[in-house]
Amino acid sequence: MHFGYFGVTEGWHASDVADVLKLIAIGLLAGLFFSSTFILNRLMSLEGGHWLWSAALRYGYMVLLLMIGLPLFRGGPSLRALLRLFGRHWKFWTLAGSIGFGGFYALICFSADHAPGWVVATTWQLTIIASLFVLMGFGRSFPRRTWIFSGIVFTGILLVNLVHFKTGSLQGLFKGALPVVLAAFCYPIGNQLVWEAQRGRRFLPYIRDASLDNAFNKVLLMSLGSLPFWGILIAAVAPPPPSGGQMVNTALVALFSGVAATSLFLYARSRANRASELAAVDATQSSEVVFAMIGEVAILGAPWPSSVALTGVAVVFAGLTLFIRFQEGENQ
């Protein structure tokens, strides 16, 4: 198998398969933490909280958590060095943060006003396919089987959404789904910009710094880069002040999804050396559907999904399994 951007033939060994399985396991753990986003955003929406505060406060908390936590665990000088790195490439971090964190999460929170959390989580799985298009835009290529496996995952997403077609309005689905489709492209674009910059690709600055090997540092840099985006959006929308409950819930989202999940996901992506590995890590985000369904039933009292929805979930995981088997097939 050949990938043009490496220019070499990729040979697979048993250790390669083990590495891929580890990356997928880390991605699934990230999916568990990511699912808190959809549950808590839906909860805040039902309680009347404005979607913009649900989005902006999360990244405000993330910056505070990381700027306090990093010096405690690694010492003050490392944080100062990280801030200097941000200052040297502030235009790049503002671009990557505004797209990958700002645009992505503003659209996700907006959709929570118009669709249940499990529908948002399911539609969000389009990022698996969106990631392939993003990677293609950066010069990557994939074997036909990768697209077939992605199509299987997409079929599962459609099956799950059939439940909402039956129980909700088409207008509500459109308002809840379209922003998520756009968000599905924003997130991999922002992350891939960082991945490319570390390797000095094309028009991007070559940011070869050892601190970027730590996923928490990447999250802080991108979060700092998103702050101008949030300031402009708050000034433009002028939402009413957030409630105390919304401030608490956004803090939980920042901790579980913003810090823990994002760091795990970026760590797994940073360890991927092949385009197919990147696609496999991105595919683990489909696990959020299961976690969001269970959480919405247990926490928000939503009815248990129908057999059609459960069948869709099974199909999604079948697609994930094929991603793994594909790696094994390359080893034979």
Question: What's the mean pLDDT in 76-105?
Answer: 92
CA 92 to the chain's CA centroid = 19
Residue 9: predicted pLDDT: 35
- Average pLDDT of the residues in 34-46: 89
For residue 75, being part of any structural domain is answered with yes
Summarize pLDDT for 275-305 with one digit per residue, the tens: 667 777 877 777 787 788 888 888 887 777 7
**120 within domain boundaries:** yes
pLDDT exceeds cutoff 80 at 2: no
Tell me the three-class secondary structure of 16-47, residue by residue. Answer: HHHHHHHHHHHHHHHHHHHHHHHHHHHHHHHC
Tally the domains of the chain: 1
Residue that has been written with the tokens 């839906």 in this structure: 42
HSE of 242, CA atoms in CB hemisphere, 13 A: 20
Residue 3 lies in a domain: no
Classify residue 244: in a domain, yes or no. yes
Which residues constitute the domain of residue 290? Answer: 13-331
Position 6 pLDDT exceeds 60: no
State pLDDT tens for residues 224-253: 999 999 999 999 999 999 989 999 999 999
pLDDT of residue 44: 93
- How far apart CA 280 and CA 27 sit, in angstroms, is 9
Q: Using 50, 70 and 90 to split pLDDT, how confident is the model at 94?
A: very high
Say if 57 falls within a structural domain: yes
| Section 263-284 average pLDDT | 77
Q: What is the pLDDT of residue 4?
A: 30
The number of CA neighbours under 13 Å toward the Cβ of 51 is: 18
- For 95-147, the pLDDT digits (tens) are 999 999 999 999 999 998 888 887 788 788 788 788 888 988 887 877 788 88
Query: Is 8 within a domain?
Result: no
pLDDT at 260 over 90: no
pLDDT one-digit tens code per residue, 181-223: 899 999 999 999 999 998 887 788 899 888 888 878 888 999 9
Largest interatomic CA distance in the chain: 60
pLDDT band at 14 (very low <50, low <70, confident <90, very high): low
Q: Distance between CA 104 and CA 74 in Å, rounded?
A: 29
pLDDT of 3 strictly over 70: no
Average per-residue pLDDT in the chain? 82
pLDDT confidence of residue 166: 63
- Min mean pLDDT across 57-61, 156-160, 292-296 is at 156-160
Are 104 and 187 contacting, i.e. CB atoms less than 8 angstroms apart?
yes
pLDDT above 70 as % of the chain: 86
Distance CA(121)–CA(56), nearest Å, equals: 20
Q: Identify whether 6 is part of a domain.
A: no
